[in-house]
Amino acid sequence: MNLSNTGRPDRRHRRLSAEWLNQMKKIEAIIKPFKLDEVKDALNQIGLKGITVLEAKGFGRQKGHTELYRGAEYVVDFLPKVKLELIIEDEMVEKAVEAIRSSAHTGRIGDGKIFVSSIDDAIRIRTGERGDAAV
């Protein structure tokens, strides 16, 4: 890191770092499992190719539900969900968020959430490429 004589990063380094930090975003979406194919198709239609899908369990306002099994009632606290993760360039964020939101929407409680956060860096292990070139 280039430091000025004050011990702080010089202006040029801060500017380059700020540009680097604003290049990519991470979108995490928690959706109902049966909506996965629709969301995947919607993301493909806007040109996004890479996605990570994880099986998840959880609850929010939905608070689970009660089921009857062999005459006994029990509470299912954690409901099956799917978690999607995408790392994309800043200019694609709004399109991706809208594609996920519209295709995962059912209008019922438990439709899910979308989270957007900044990504500092990405490195492709095979080639060593960094930043948006690695995505």
pTM of the model: 0.75
Q: Is residue 119 part of a domain?
A: yes
**CATH (domain of 103):** 3.30.70.120
At 60-102, the pLDDT tens digits run 776 666 666 777 776 767 889 999 999 999 999 999 999 999 9
Look at the chain and report how many structural domains it folds into: 1
Which residue range(s) make up the domain with 85? 24-134
Place of tokens 């490429």: 129
Q: Is residue 14 part of a domain?
A: no
Q: Where are the beta strands (DSSP E) in 1-135?
A: 24-31, 52-58, 65-69, 72-76, 79-89, 112-119
Q: Is residue 18 part of a domain?
A: no
Q: Is residue 19 part of a domain?
A: no
Q: Is residue 37 part of a domain?
A: yes
Q: Is residue 45 part of a domain?
A: yes
Q: Is residue 10 part of a domain?
A: no
Q: Is residue 116 part of a domain?
A: yes
At 38-67, the pLDDT tens digits run 999 999 999 998 999 999 988 777 666 666
Q: Can you state the angle between helices 93-104 and 36-45, rounded to 10 degrees? A: 150
